[in-house]
Structure 1
């Protein structure tokens, strides 16, 4: 019960928490408050004690937006409200006190007004604030409530310049934050696509070989084959199913950045074992690998492995009875992977659809500046990937 009450109180406090404009910090707000209090106290002490109630009332008027904003959370932290309150408070200090004050600090509130409004709103907002403040100073000087306003007008100019510079810096900061948020979103989307591609490759490969084993077992049982062959096929399917689950757990584990116990990713040297898996599962496949694995970086090797895996998986899925071949040639500067199968009535391959597999191949190979071509070849299908090794290392 107590925990629920605390949670509700935190949610209420969070909903009541005032929000400052984007690009500002609470340090900026505190500095403005302290400066405003200092100017108001000095302006009050400069006046006779009989004028102190009026001066304090002017300070209350100037602080009204802050009270509404921080205490009651009914007023937004906006330039127009601050401008109206600070202009009114300054006017009360200049016109409602009994005698003019030499070296009065009250007009410095106008400098603060111009600077803050210009920083919060826009160039036009800062200009209008500076114009209205100058008009108030000139009016006070004409009413003999203020000495020569030249010095105060110079302070207004400084306030407008500071506000303009803060406004520019604030816009740059907002743009930087927006850019960082977009980059973070793109990075997260890329990571999701990468993990989805890995999961797709792992599951499709493992399930395709499993189905080949199950198909072999079914044929052995249907046609009176040896029980040992059927049992062996089922056993291999069972083992591969467990391996598939382990691979899925490992791939999904990539989401955990702190997990350092993951098994290494497959590389180009694992393509031979990949082809052996498909051959043992019953796929009519011939494989030829030439060249040194040392010329292939781990990242490039993973790309080649996944392309080979996806290509063989598609053959096992769409034309398991067809004959196929895989050739990998590795030279000093290039690796070429070719996977070809001849259907010849043994199955049907998709000829127009672009699924996740083909898109994944292109994304992997383009990272290294390579190319991949996949499409019909006579009665079958061909996949050919070329990867420049000098740029992949």
Structure 2
């Protein structure tokens, strides 16, 4: 309701501004360029921040009207050079500054030129009162206005970019610090669990001994994973190269099969790990990890699980399917973590697709990642 009221108020203000502009142009035709520049600025203010995308067009439109007035004055003595022309040039310079500050680079160059050039040559409306040399010097002098406006807008843009980068860097440092703290605290507790499991093995036998060994192995893997993650957060190239990928899938599936009552089968195309880029191989591993985690959490009664990783039409296809159809879509993904939604963003960032849904009598996670030539 509130948004509708705001939109209606903006539309009403725009109508009033347009009507006022028409009335001013009818009353004083010489003020048409000034009215056009003022209307462009008012439109930008009324519809801000939505109007950021319109700034190059608003500046270009006002500049086109100003340029047409100058051309008409030179060719047919259409419009004189009234005293308020300086206000028109000031408004055009404001448009140039706004475009330089808010618009994308290419659009800013085009919009700034479209509004800045007519501002510089508006002095030519004086016509026969200036000689050729005076006209050249006059245009050069008036060009300082839009140039300074563009420089001011560019400076504000640069400061904003630096501020955003500084905030991102500060957030990154905070995340690193939190990751180190989390590693230290969790590592302490996990190491205590490992020590307890190792000590209990001395007095246990039979199935209990095997379970304790599994606990110890899982704890050691968790410690190694935390160490690896913290080092990767530090952007260590050597550690990034050692992250898990397609080559580690057999070990991953074997561990899953050992802890699951389902029949697990892995179909991995031979030599695939060596043929695909590093960023893809790590993503493939993460997809399989997340899909198997969802099977364990949401399909514990699955009788079989099939993992298939192969290359199809210059794309890596990853499929993880099971025969349990009772996993509701809304529960996919780990609570508190990124889960499949986070993986979907990661896959789409690599120009791929990821889908999860019913397949036959069960459930399937299917991802396709294009392999660059």
Higher helix share: 2
Structure-2-length-normalised TM-score:
0.47
Structure-1-length-normalised TM-score:
0.45
Q: Which has the higher contact order (CA 8 A, sep 6+)?
A: 1
Bigger Rg over Cα: 1
